């Protein structure tokens, strides 16, 4: 069997994926590894023989797919995070990196590690391969500098599982309500409701001005004024006695209804004498990547969009909502315009299963090229952002742009999830299979055990501190704090676990907002640790 695994790389890959599925679903006191089970399956299989391995292209392909698809989906959120809140998160990450570097230097002195091993301990405990690569390059040819790969490979596995354990136990300790956080962040899959309201008083401001003043998280659908039914466009001025339909989450609808008037037993949505509604797939490339304000549906068709369904949740739309391929929009329109509107949006499910290979491949090419650029450091050394760093930065930029002229950078939601899961599986399998042999060879010695314990303490301590400060001091939602921790750790498996625990996209938002700073910070600090440890 071993010879078969050594000779047949494809078989080895799927054996690891199969074993990883079973390991990931084992629950101990409510804790399970989830997708990260593939990593530990790879470690187990590769420990059987040093000749069991995969071509490095499998690892790199998986990493590029996983990071790039996350970045595409998070680009818009990342752009919005470049504010005071995003700055606070990055300051937290930088502060914790300095703490981590100081603790690593202390651990290296206590254990009597040489300079390269101390730097390797830092890169392993905080799972950053590009930082390890820069250390290897720096010590190459230096007598007595040591081997950073030893401590890296020993500390690396607990650099993953230690963070997961810290996340799991603090989540239990604080009794985190992920569903409530998702509602507050407007990321929940809560079903939207429609309520007809009788306007209490005359208003002098148009609807667009009222929304600007009150920042209502709802949308107005139909309006009945003096017995005439119409759609509520931005120029509508509410008058006493008007009936308006309000769409949003139950809590938001109740609050806005109380501000405007009283709930009515009459349902405007039930009146289809003049207007009808329909759910339509967005599959037209000319529509995707544009905001609802740009599409100007009211002037073009006399219609409005009252809901946007993306994945498993409905989004309350606004003029700034940018449509993506795969969205399902609920359109209220005159009876005679339904066909035109359907053709305008596309409504082709088959088309949504296709990926634009031109823009998808071009984006990945740009990311990989950026990752391969040598960035100089003081002292004559240099570093590269690597597959992950380059793909992430380009993906964030293109995801934020959405489209450039006729080129659409984003991909349908369902296709994004599929490629993301495939990429993560390939990446974790590749990492496990290339690390298990070195881990098994070193962990058996006394010094190896001490290195393992030191790495475990560093990982768990810093992860716990970051979550405590982020959640209790900075008052970040716990789901966002776990994303910041994932970005700090610069390891996709931690993000996958955090997203699995929260069940929403908050972790991905936190991850994308701090990952670039964490990546570059670790590379630079690894060099600082190396320089200080050499003295």
**Cα 184 → chain centroid:** 18
Is residue 484 very low, low, confident or very high in pLDDT (cuts 50, 70, 90)? very high
DSSP-based three-state secondary structure for 111:
helix
| Higher-confidence position of 384 and 9 | 9
| Higher-confidence position of 383 and 474 | 474
Tens-digit pLDDT profile for residues 403-425:
888 888 888 877 888 888 888 88
- Can you read off the two tokens belonging to residue 242? 């008007």
Task: Give the per-residue pLDDT at 426.
Answer: 87
Output the pTM of the full model. 0.65
Average pLDDT value over all residues in the chain:
82
Task: Give the per-residue pLDDT at 105.
Answer: 94
Q: Which of 326, 347, 321 is nearest to 411 (CA)?
A: 326
CB atoms within 10 A of CB 302: 17
Euclidean distance between CA atoms 391 and 394, whole angstroms: 5
Euclidean distance between CA atoms 430 and 442, whole angstroms: 20
| Higher-confidence position of 526 and 99 | 99
Which helix or strand (DSSP H or E) is residue 197 part of? strand 193-199
What is the fold, at CATH topology level, of the domain defined by 188-352?
Alpha-Beta Plaits (3.30.70)
* Domains of the chain by residue range: 54-183+358-421+442-534, 188-352
Is residue 156 very low, low, confident or very high in pLDDT (cuts 50, 70, 90)? confident
Tens-digit pLDDT profile for residues 244-264:
999 888 888 889 888 888 888
DSSP-based three-state secondary structure for 484:
helix
- Res 328 pLDDT > 60: yes
């Amino acid at each position: 069997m071993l010879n078969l695994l050594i000779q047949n790389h494809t078989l080895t890959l799927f054996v690891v994926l199969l074993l990883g599925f079973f390991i990931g679903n084992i629950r101990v006191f409510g804790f399970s590894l989830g997708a990260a089970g593939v990593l530990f399956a790879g470690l187990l299989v590769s420990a059987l023989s040093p000749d069991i391995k995969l071509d490095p292209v499998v690892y790199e392909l998986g990493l590029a797919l996983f990071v790039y698809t996350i970045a595409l989906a998070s680009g818009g959120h990342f752009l919005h995070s470049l504010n005071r809140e995003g700055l606070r998160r990055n300051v937290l990450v930088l502060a914790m990196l300095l703490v981590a570097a100081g603790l690593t230097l202390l651990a290296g002195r206590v254990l009597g590690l040489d300079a390269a091993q101390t730097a390797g301990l830092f890169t392993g405990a905080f799972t950053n391969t590009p930082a390890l690569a820069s250390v290897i390059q720096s010590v190459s040819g230096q007598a007595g500098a040591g081997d950073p790969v030893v401590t890296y490979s020993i500390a690396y596995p607990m650099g993953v599982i230690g963070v997961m354990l810290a996340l799991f136990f603090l989540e239990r300790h604080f009794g985190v309500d992920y569903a409530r956080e998702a509602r507050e962040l407007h990321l929940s899959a809560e079903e939207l409701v429609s309520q007809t309201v009788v306007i209490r008083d005359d208003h002098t401001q148009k609807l667009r001005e009222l929304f600007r003043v009150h920042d209502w998280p709802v949308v107005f659908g139909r309006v009945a004024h003096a017995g005439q039914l119409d759609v509520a466009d931005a120029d509508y001025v509410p008058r006493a006695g008007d009936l308006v339909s309000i769409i949003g989450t139950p809590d938001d609808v109740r609050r806005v209804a109380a501000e405007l008037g009283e709930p009515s037993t009459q349902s405007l949505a039930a009146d289809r004498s003049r207007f009808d509604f329909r759910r339509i797939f967005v599959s037209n490339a000319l529509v995707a990547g544009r905001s609802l304000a740009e599409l100007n549906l009211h002037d073009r068709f006399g219609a409005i969009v009252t809901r946007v369904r993306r994945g498993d949740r409905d989004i309350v739309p606004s003029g700034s909502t940018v449509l993506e391929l795969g969205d399902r929009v609920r359109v209220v329109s005159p009876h005679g315009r339904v066909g035109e509107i359907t053709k305008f949006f596309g409504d082709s499910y088959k088309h949504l299963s296709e990926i634009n290979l031109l823009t998808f491949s071009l984006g990945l090419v740009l990311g990989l090229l950026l990752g391969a650029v040598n960035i100089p450091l003081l002292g004559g050394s240099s570093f590269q952002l690597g597959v992950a760093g380059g793909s992430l930065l380009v993906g964030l930029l293109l995801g934020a742009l959405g489209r450039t002229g006729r080129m659409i950078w984003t991909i349908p939601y369902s296709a994004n999830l599929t490629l993301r899961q495939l990429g993560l599986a390939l990446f974790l399998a590749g990492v496990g299979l290339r690390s298990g042999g070195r881990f098994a060879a070193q962990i058996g010695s006394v010094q190896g055990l001490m290195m393992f314990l030191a790495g475990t303490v560093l990982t768990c301590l810093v992860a716990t501190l970051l979550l405590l400060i982020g959640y209790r001091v900075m008052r970040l939602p716990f789901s966002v704090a776990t994303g910041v921790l994932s970005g700090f750790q610069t390891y996709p498996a931690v993000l996958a676990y955090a997203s699995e625990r929260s069940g929403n996209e908050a972790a991905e938002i936190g991850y994308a907002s701090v990952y670039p700073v964490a990546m570059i910070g670790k590379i630079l600090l690894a060099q600082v640790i190396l320089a200080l440890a050499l003295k």
